[in-house]
Amino acid sequence: MASRSQQPLHSPPGLRVFQRIGPRPRRLTLLVLALLPWFPALTGLSHAAEAAPNTVGLAELPDAADLIDRLLERSRGLSSYSEVSMTVHRPDWERNSSLKSWTRGEADSLIRFIAPARDAGNGTLKKGSQMWTYTPKLNRVIRLPSSMMSQSWGGSDFSYNDLARSDELREHFDHRIEAAGESGGQALFRVTSIPRPGAPVVWGKQELTIRADLVLIEQLFFDQDLKPLKRMTGHDFADAGDGRWLAMRMRMHTLEKDDHWTEIRYDTIKFDVDVADRTFTQFALKNP
């Protein structure tokens, strides 16, 4: 099995041209990203390239920070509701689960397991910068300390930090368009995101490949030694309404372990829905 430093990095699918823009940035001593409150914020990854017409030519490089801002705003919506199937895959077994998720704004989310029966009722609540979990077997709501945020969520390849991500990407990172390319008539931009000195983040670097129509193609997560640890890719591109193109399947790959991945599949997803304030409370977490 390849070590982390030997693990190959895959170019975005269907990529025909990808040219580096300017010199490589200096290597810094760093800390990481946090993106959006929950999975709807991670949508837009895809192997397809046939969506909306190209809006930015390769000669018209956008500002990297502005591109990140518009990506976050476009992919998040004011609120969302989704029904999700999740598969945790290992070389010798797979586990399938069903979940429901509600989000509001940049920082509030509630995720609840519906199936299988042994997991039904388990939930995770994020309110602002705080996070709680609930397990019916213990009948306790537990606030997660920062020391537990890097642990696996639900035995998957996502961590609690992945769920907690809000606007840290634009609040604590500097961004640079390091390469530009094209796929299926769409301009692509590879953005390198580096934590600012002293930023309260986990990863040492992130690389995002973003299409001109604000679709996130791929996201790579690096540790403090700038070794790639995880890669998120997307599949089954579709218009979720109002021209909001999303990947209806997303995979998070753990690169240091062969054939370890978790796939999220949207069965239903709606944006800008009415979500009651009481949804994002410990009472709601404990009482479906």
Structure-token pair, residue 194? 């580096």
Q: CA-based angle 155:253:226, to the nearest 5?
A: 110
pLDDT at 57: 46
Q: What is the pLDDT of residues 164-215, one digit of tens each?
A: 665 778 889 999 999 999 887 889 999 999 999 998 888 999 999 988 888 8
DSSP structure string for 76-99: H-SEEEEEEEEEEEETTEEEEEEE
Residue 283: φ, ψ to 5° = -60, -45
Q: 3-state DSSP call for residue 161?
A: helix
Query: What b-and-e string marks burial along 38-74, b requiring 16 or more CB atoms within 10 Å of the CB?
Result: bbbbbbbbbbbbebeebebebeeebebbebbeebbeb
Q: How confident is the prediction for the chain on average, in pLDDT?
A: 80
Length of the chain: 288
CA atoms within 13 A on the CB side of 94: 10
For tokens 């999740």, what's the residue? 86
pLDDT at 217: 85
Structure-token pair, residue 231? 């890669």
Report the C-alpha gap between 25 and 152 in whole angstroms: 32
Do 41 and 75 form a contact (C-beta atoms < 8 A)? yes
Asked whether the whole model's pTM tops 0.85, one would answer no
Separate counts of helices (H) and strands (E) for the chain: 4, 14
Return the percentage of the chain with pLDDT > 70, whole number. Answer: 77
Encoded amino acid at 37, one letter? P
The DSSP letter of residue 56 is S
DSSP structure string for 187-246: EEEEEEEEEPTT---S-SEEEEEEETTS-EEEEEEE-TT--EEEEEEEEEEEE-STT-EE
Residue 111: φ, ψ to 5° = -125, 130
pLDDT band at 32 (very low <50, low <70, confident <90, very high): very low
Q: State yes or no: pLDDT of 5 exceeds 60.
A: no
Instruction: State the CB neighbour count (10 A cutoff) for residue 98.
Output: 16
Cross-strand partners of 179: 20, 190
Report the C-alpha gap between 117 and 126 in whole angstroms: 23
Q: What is the pLDDT of residues 107-161, one digit of tens each?
A: 899 999 999 999 999 999 999 878 999 999 999 999 988 778 778 888 899 988 7
**Cα separations (Å) of 209 from 1, 61, 97, 215?**
26, 14, 29, 9
pLDDT at 248: 86
Q: Which positions ≥6 away from 60 have C-beta within 8 Å?
A: none
Structure-token pair, residue 28? 């810094």
Q: State yes or no: pLDDT of 58 exceeds 90.
A: no
